[in-house]
Amino acid sequence: MPRKTNGVVFELHPGPNKGEDGKPLLYARTAGGMKRTMDDLDDFCANYRHVTKGDMERLFETFLDVAGMWLSQGYRVETPIGSFAMKLTGEHTDASKVTGYDIMYGGVEFTPSKDFVQKAGSNCEGYRRATGPVGNSQMYDSKAMEEALRQSLKPGFTTVRRFMVHSGLKRDSAQKFLDSLTVGAEARLRRVRDGKTFIYTPLATVTPEEK
């Protein structure tokens, strides 16, 4: 079957739950590099929607100002694309003891309108998978991780950035993996800080072999 060349590009990432085979369940999400900026929106609308250049940016700046003010006062702001409301945080079990001092601002929640949801899902070209590994799924391949660690330790040390290159992991996952090898009775690496960089050096039992 020929490779699909159109449609929404998606990536697969392992989730926290596991399937019957013991492997992490995979979930799909749009490719991380796919994005449009405010400038893109402003340019597109000026060229194809009969809007004067700069109008879209000024519109959003005005909305940010006014909607932000209303949200800060506790109002829900309803728009054609959906509604915005202040999110509050705080976990309590006894209502009689809760005061205003126990409640904190937790951000903004957005509920999209039906029209917006339909527009966002109107793509008719299907979906195509991005090339490359499944998210950080290589973390669950012990042989792949051992080889990536061995390669990255060839100079006698490694860093998060260096390990990212050899493992293909994203920054947080790469650091999490390296940090996991610095703790416990069977720790394999020692971590020291050099400025803003963490340096990982092997303990005597894991000196990497040189090819």
From CA 53, how far away is CA 153, in angstroms rounded? Answer: 53
Determine the pLDDT at residue 211. Answer: 38
Average of per-residue pLDDT across 107-118: 96
- Could you tell me if residue 145 is inside a domain? yes
What distance lies between CA 43 and its chain's CA centroid? 27
Q: What pTM was computed for the model?
A: 0.60
Give me the number of domains the chain comprises: 1
Average of per-residue pLDDT across 87-111: 92
Cα distance between the two ends of the chain: 40
Average of per-residue pLDDT across 151-176: 90
Domain, as residue range, for 165: 137-206
Instruction: Select from 84, 56, 60, 90 the least CA-distant residue to 71.
Output: 84
pLDDT of 89 > 80? The answer is: yes
- Could you tell me if residue 3 is inside a domain? no
Q: Which of 12-26, 40-54, 154-168 has the lowest mean pLDDT?
A: 12-26
Determine the pLDDT at residue 207. Answer: 43
Instruction: Select from 55, 59, 35 the least CA-distant residue to 43.
Output: 55
Helix/strand/coil percent split, the chain, to 5: 35, 25, 35
What distance lies between CA 122 and its chain's CA centroid? 24
Average of per-residue pLDDT across 65-90: 96
CATH number where 175 lies = 1.10.10.10
Element (H, E) at 8: strand 8-18
- Could you tell me if residue 147 is inside a domain? yes
- Could you tell me if residue 111 is inside a domain? no
Determine the pLDDT at residue 210. Answer: 39
From CA 96, how far away is CA 104, in angstroms rounded? Answer: 17
Average of per-residue pLDDT across 141-150: 86
From CA 177, how far away is CA 136, in angstroms rounded? Answer: 11
Q: Hunting for tokens 């490694």 — which residue is that? A: 158
pLDDT of 60 > 50? The answer is: yes
Average pLDDT of the residues of the chain: 86
